[in-house]
Amino acid sequence: MEKVTEPSLDAALVWFRRDLRAEDHAALFHALKAARKVYCGFILDREILDALPRADRRVEFIRDCLVALDTRLQALAPGARLLVRHGLATQELPRLAHELHVQAVYANHDDEPASLARDGRVRGALADLGIALHTGKDHVVFERSELLTGSGKAYSVFTPYKNAWLRKLEPFYVSAYPVERYAHRLAPPAEDVAADIPSLAGIGFEPTNLHELHQGTGEAGARALLDDFLPRIERYGEARDFPAVKGPSYLSMHLRFGTVSIRTLAREAAQRMHHGSAGAAVWLSELVWRDFYHQVLHHHPRVVGASFKPEYDAIKWEHGKHAQALFEAWCEGRTGYPLVDAAMAQINQTGYMHNRLRMVTASFLTKDLGIDWRWGERWFAEKLNDYDLAANNGGWQWAASTGCDAQPYFRIFNPVSQSEKFDAAGKFIRRYLPALAGLSDQAIHAPWLARPIELAEAGVRLGDSYPLPVVMHDEARVRTLERYAVVKG
């Protein structure tokens, strides 16, 4: 039984960021234990928002999650509210803390370099007001330097990291923080403290097709997806590779914005794995990859903009108008390779891309088109609903062979064989490329190889209704091996 101690503070503020839930929330729990009155706040940070397109699913998702969190806080304690401000976090957060007369602010770690710099500025501004900033782990199971090699260094190879992760995992690390036990300390703000959540239009954004994607929002949306996934988890190991099959959990957006606790997911996966579920073991491994990339970012922040393996920065990528034309064809799904184009249509239309297709499209951009991986990383950063710097950077560097524990440079995905293996019946391709729907299951993977009569019967005019390939894979492969020769040693 946990020992209950008297709070040492009169009032504290919890600064919500990428953790938009009340359940099993580390910073909220620590604040509730430490203070007699606890307020909750969120800053719609213009430093981030002003750089985004005016129709952005993530902003709409966040705004809906703020409404859900506000409702949840009111259910936990009558009168409690989520206090939302729109402006620069470095100014608005200290202003809100001062307005509420708190002695301390509690927040969960965010290890992205820009976020650490922001937190440093906020810490200084709060200190000037005599207010402390306390931050701690919440977003991952093991963070920063909790897992190190025998020589005290960060891991750069996944398998030994995973083995160490699994050895260290004990129930303590995935136990939930009992927020409800102390929820009576959530305090209503004074009447002169504004508590209305601004509308989407009020912060300068437009509605998107978010609600057509069946992602759900808030803790309830995350729980619904988890409840839908758990009966399917045993098949996850096989089903996850096929984009036309309902294989993934689809929780990545919720995990990114913290509407579900990583401890909840890891606990579910570990318990099922220990009871013999092979699918749960594979899913847990994916959660370990997520921790792995976060510790890589923490120990090697230079990966933001540079190769983890410095020698790979010597690669000479395609450049000039030719490279720009190839990149635009990739972005717009006009490469002439149906699986690649369907995947790009998926991300452009929905903000989601199946994990297998993230690897296929990244490999195609870097190793078929010879385009710098950073171009693709930026495109995904703009488009992905679940964009997470650590995972996105890690995934792109894996595909480009520039990262730690990456795909060997001489292993190059063949987009046609990937299509034939993972979308054999062309179901996914037909969903996103209706112009090719009339082709046979055999021809749909490489239309340029189909007989003219079949193309005519399917209404496909290469170079018109569907593009010819922008490169030929076999020729591109040779060029890639030559390009990567600079790192052979």
What are the catalytic residues?
286, 289, 317, 355, 373, 396
List the one residue out of 255, 237, 261, 257 whose CA is nearest residue 247: 237
Q: Looking at 22-71, which runs of residues are DSSP E strands?
A: 35-45
Residues 212, 257, 407: CA angle, nearest 5 degrees = 95
The widest CA-to-CA distance across the chain, in whole angstroms, is 82
Pull the structure tokens for residue 251: 């929780």
Q: What is residue 213's DSSP assignment?
A: T
- Rounding to the nearest 10 degrees, give the CA dihedral for residues 251, 256, 258, 264: 50
Q: Collapse the DSSP code of 450 into the 3-class scheme (helix H, G, I; strand E, B; otherwise coil) and give the result.
A: coil
List the one residue out of 382, 380, 384, 414 whose CA is nearest residue 397: 380
* Alpha-carbon gap, residue 275 to 262, rounded angstroms: 20
* Alpha-carbon gap, residue 255 to 221, rounded angstroms: 11
Per the DSSP assignment, residues forming a β-bridge with 104 are 12, 132
* Alpha-carbon gap, residue 109 to 86, rounded angstroms: 21
Residue recorded with tokens 């891991």:
155
Per the DSSP assignment, residues forming a β-bridge with 85 are 43
